[in-house]
Chains A and B, each alone.
Chain A
Amino acid sequence: METAEKILVEDISSLSDRQIIEQILLTGKTVYFGALYDRYANKVYRKCISMVKSREDARDLTHDILVKAFLKISSFQGNSSFSTWIYTITYNHCIDFLRQKQKNRVVEYNNVTDGHDLEEVDEIENKKLFEIEVGRLKELLFELSEDDRAIILMKYQDEMSIEQIRTVLKLSSSAVKMRLKRARDRLRKLYEKTYGTR
């Protein structure tokens, strides 16, 4: 039995995410989900820390997110990669958690487009953000609202495209670009305010 289980685990490690999901749906065996856990749990955990700061909260959230992912796995369409799918659950779950914690906090967002060519400024802004030292960046991110933090991480940590972010946040492309621009501006201003203008 133990040997059979061992062989199974070795076999699973050679499967793609999609093949593992097919096996979960076909057999319902938890061992297959264990393989996905090994691939993604720490990544989800780190994303949760980036979102909520507290490691204890991040542990609990990771547990809930992974259980939720298993229960919803039949809804995985395969249109995106599994990583994008599970990070979508992660961001939404963390945002919900933070909103629950700070019910009174009002986050102001408008779906306004101001005519600026957002693509053009992207390159310069990215360079500025990439110059921020890691320790400082970590602190600054927690000064932002959960929505700003999430969109910044999606863009610069997960390297999601506008289209992918649009799907996660259920917004139009222009609204995503605008939110991203504002979040980036706020992060940059915060950096300048905290560490001086450069």
Chain B
Amino acid sequence: MNAEDFNPFKSLNVHDELPEEDRKKVLDTIDTMKFIIGVADLFTTKQVEVNTDIFSAFVSSSFKETNG
């Protein structure tokens, strides 16, 4: 490399590497977050869907009972 092209900023900390176990930690945290989001979703969006289904079934059966 030409001395004039040398950029010392590019050489900062180049030998520092994360320990191998950190990869597992990050991916495990992500899996946990996905699980939590999934559970939260179950009790919000999906719960509304289930409630709507139950309500529709109830209304439908009441309607049938009333109108024979």
Cβ-defined contact, A46 with B16, below 8 A: yes
Could you tell me the distance between the alpha carbons of A132 and B9 in the complex, rounded to whole angstroms? 9
Stretch from B28-36, B48-56, B58-66 contacting the other chain? B28-36
Give a binary string over A52-90; 1 marks a CB under 8 Å from any B CB, 0 the rest.
Answer: 000100010011001100110000000000000000000
* Given A30-B31, A37-B27, A67-B26: A50 touches B12 (CB 8 Å cut-off): yes
Could you tell me the distance between the alpha carbons of A55 and B8 in the complex, rounded to whole angstroms? 20
Cβ-defined contact, A46 with B27, below 8 A: no
Cβ-defined contact, B22 with A71, below 8 A: no
User: Quick one: which of A41, A50, A67 contacts B23, CB cutoff 8 A?
Assistant: A41
Size of chain B's interface in residues, with CB distance under 8 A?
Answer: 23
Contacts of A38 in B (CB 8 A): 23
| Count: A-B pairs, CB below 8 Å | 72
Give a binary string over A145-163; 1 marks a CB under 8 Å from any B CB, 0 the rest.
Answer: 0000000110011000000
Size of chain A's interface in residues, with CB distance under 8 A?
Answer: 32
Cβ-defined contact, A30 with B30, below 8 A: yes
Specify the main secondary structure of chain A where it touches its partner: helix
Interface presence of A49 (CB below 8 A): yes
Cβ-defined contact, A49 with B34, below 8 A: no
Could you tell me the distance between the alpha carbons of A72 and B48 in the complex, rounded to whole angstroms? 25
Cβ-defined contact, B9 with A41, below 8 A: no
Cβ-defined contact, A46 with B12, below 8 A: yes
A-B contact pairs, 30 of them (CB 8 A): A30-B27, A30-B30, A33-B27, A37-B23, A37-B26, A38-B23, A41-B23, A42-B17, A42-B18, A45-B16, A45-B17, A46-B13, A55-B16, A62-B18, A63-B22, A63-B25, A63-B26, A63-B29, A66-B26, A67-B29, A67-B33, A71-B33, A130-B7, A132-B8, A134-B11, A134-B12, A137-B9, A141-B12, A156-B7, A157-B9
Extra inter-chain contacts (14) besides given A62-B18, A132-B8, CB under 8 Å: A33-B27, A37-B26, A41-B26, A42-B17, A45-B18, A49-B16, A59-B22, A63-B25, A130-B7, A137-B9, A152-B9, A153-B9, A156-B7, A157-B10
